[in-house]
């Protein structure tokens, strides 16, 4: 199972698309001369982010500063980590709706063990990470072994994880452990006055690992192959069954890690934490240029998807006259536009 075999799986799709673009001179290639068509969605995302940043800098005083940019990362670190896991799931052609509730369950278990049972962080954090991975792997097993729809399995997983939160406690548990408060307040100065938190560093590290996994490992290539066409992947002798389970396990692990970062961020455990985060994560992945039909997309794009969601919130906050619910409407609108764009690209491929 060489890396070369995996690489060859992505080529037909890419070359098919170039052929389609070549047949239609007015198509993607003509408009984006000089850019490989497969990078168009990511380019759109990055340009949109730059455009929104430029807009904010031009209209709001104090927007153009390193700290505002780093705050995007700091306030969305957990979302970024969760979205990287989600990217792999969507690349493989699946979906994971349980991520938000796994984040909540992680905060709940951490808070309960640390506060009510006086466990040390050194045992709690590995434990919750293992728990998240096991939860994801169990769902992946059901999906793979019994040919169940990912959507409905992870939906049930979402119910289950939220329910387990409430079994631990209905109320919010605040964390006073010295380790957690120290980590949550730790700041690493970069240049000037700007600083960054542990969570943001972890998020960047997860993105880096995600990029490595997706493009330089056999696992990543198999994920792309499954998303492109699962049946061909099986015929090529790729370890489809194992990889499918691993993808959901990775997503579960990322959710748990996101939950750990969220615990640092909120310093509490609560069953109502991270409601609707699965939607934000999916939105970030889609806006980041990953096709929902699987097989095409970049982990790097997801980072910018998250940053765009963050910058929308920041813009609305800086504006001051818009209410918070506009965030949801704008995110919904963006999701719509990007889904439409995807249909256009898919149309050119097929």
Instruction: Find out whether 229 and 93 touch, Cβ atoms under 8 Å.
Output: no
Which one, 199 or 228, has the nearer CB to another protein? 228
Nearer to another protein, 5 or 168 (CB): 168
Q: What is the DSSP string of 212-268?
A: HHHHHSHHHHHHHHHHH-HHHHHHTT--HHHHHHHHHHHHHHHHHHHHHHHHHHH-E
The CB-of-17 to another protein minimum distance in angstroms stands at 18
Find the shortest distance in angstroms from Cβ 213 to another protein: 25
Q: Report in angstroms the alpha-carbon separations of 223 from 10, 215, 239, 256.
A: 10, 10, 10, 21
Instruction: List the beta bridge partners of residue 38.
Output: none
Of 85 and 220, the one with the shorter C-beta distance to another protein is 85
Can you tell me whether residue 188 is helix, strand or coil? strand
Which residue shows structure tokens 């994880």? 161
User: Which are the contacts of 309, defined by CB distance < 8 A and separation ≥ 6?
Assistant: 76, 79, 280, 283, 284, 287, 331
Min dist CB 240 to another protein, Å, is 15
Q: In terms of DSSP bridges, do strands 187-189 and 173-174 run parallel, antiparallel, or are they unpaired?
A: unpaired
CB of 186 or CB of 316, closer to another protein: 316
Q: How far is the CB of 166 from another protein (least distance, A)?
A: 3
Binding site for another protein (CB under 8 A): 95, 142, 145-149, 151-153, 155-160, 162-164, 166-167, 170, 271, 276, 279, 282-283, 286, 292-293, 323-329, 331-333, 335-336, 339-340, 343
Please report which helix (H) or strand (E) contains residue 4, including its range.
helix 3-23
Question: Which C-beta is closer to another protein: that of 146 or that of 191?
Answer: 146
Q: Which is nearer to another protein, 55 or 166 (CB)?
A: 166
What's the min distance (Å) between Cβ of 346 and another protein? 8
Minimal CA–CA distance to 164: which of 112, 214, 118? 112
Sign of CA dihedral 206, 145, 131, 126: negative
- What's the closest the beta carbon of residue 339 comes to another protein, in angstroms? 6
C-beta closer to another protein: residue 53 or 150:
150
Least separation in angstroms between CB 308 and another protein: 14
Question: 105 CB contacts (<8 Å, ≥6 apart)?
Answer: 131, 135, 161, 162, 164, 165, 259
Crossing angle of helices 150-168/99-111, nearest 10°?
Answer: 20
């Amino acid at each position: 199972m060489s890396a070369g075999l995996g690489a060859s799986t992505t080529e037909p799709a890419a070359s098919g698309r170039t052929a389609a673009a070549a047949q239609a001179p007015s198509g993607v290639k003509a408009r984006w001369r000089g850019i490989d068509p497969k990078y168009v969605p990511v380019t759109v995302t990055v340009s949109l982010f730059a455009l929104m940043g430029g807009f904010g800098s031009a209209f709001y005083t104090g927007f153009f500063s390193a700290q505002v940019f780093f705050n995007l990362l700091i306030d969305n670190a957990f979302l970024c980590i969760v979205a990287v896991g989600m990217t792999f799931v969507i690349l493989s052609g699946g979906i994971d709706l349980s991520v938000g509730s796994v984040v909540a369950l992680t905060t709940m278990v951490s808070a309960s063990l640390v506060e009510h049972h006086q466990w040390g962080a050194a045992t709690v954090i590995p434990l919750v990470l293992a728990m998240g991975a096991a939860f994801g792997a169990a769902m992946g097993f059901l999906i793979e072994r019994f040919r169940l729809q990912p959507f409905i399995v992870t939906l049930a997983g979402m119910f289950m994880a939220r329910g387990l939160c409430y079994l631990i406690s209905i109320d919010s548990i605040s964390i006073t452990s010295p380790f957690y408060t120290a980590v949550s307040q730790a700041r690493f100065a970069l240049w000037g006055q700007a600083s960054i938190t542990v969570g943001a560093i972890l998020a960047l590290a997860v993105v880096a690992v995600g990029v490595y996994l997706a493009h330089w490992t056999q696992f990543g290539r198999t994920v792309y192959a499954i998303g492109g066409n699962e049946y061909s992947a099986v015929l090529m002798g790729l370890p489809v069954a194992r990889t499918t389970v691993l993808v959901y396990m990775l997503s579960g692990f990322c959710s748990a890690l996101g939950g750990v970062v969220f615990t640092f961020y909120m310093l509490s455990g609560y069953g109502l934490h991270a409601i609707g985060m699965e939607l934000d994560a999916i939105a970030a992945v889609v806006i980041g240029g990953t096709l929902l039909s699987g097989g095409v997309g970049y982990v790097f794009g997801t980072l910018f998807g998250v940053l765009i969601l963050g910058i929308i919130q920041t813009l609305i906050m800086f504006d001051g006259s818009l209410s918070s619910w506009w965030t949801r409407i704008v995110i919904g609108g963006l999701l719509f536009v990007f889904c439409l764009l995807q249909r256009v690209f898919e149309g050119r491929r097929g």
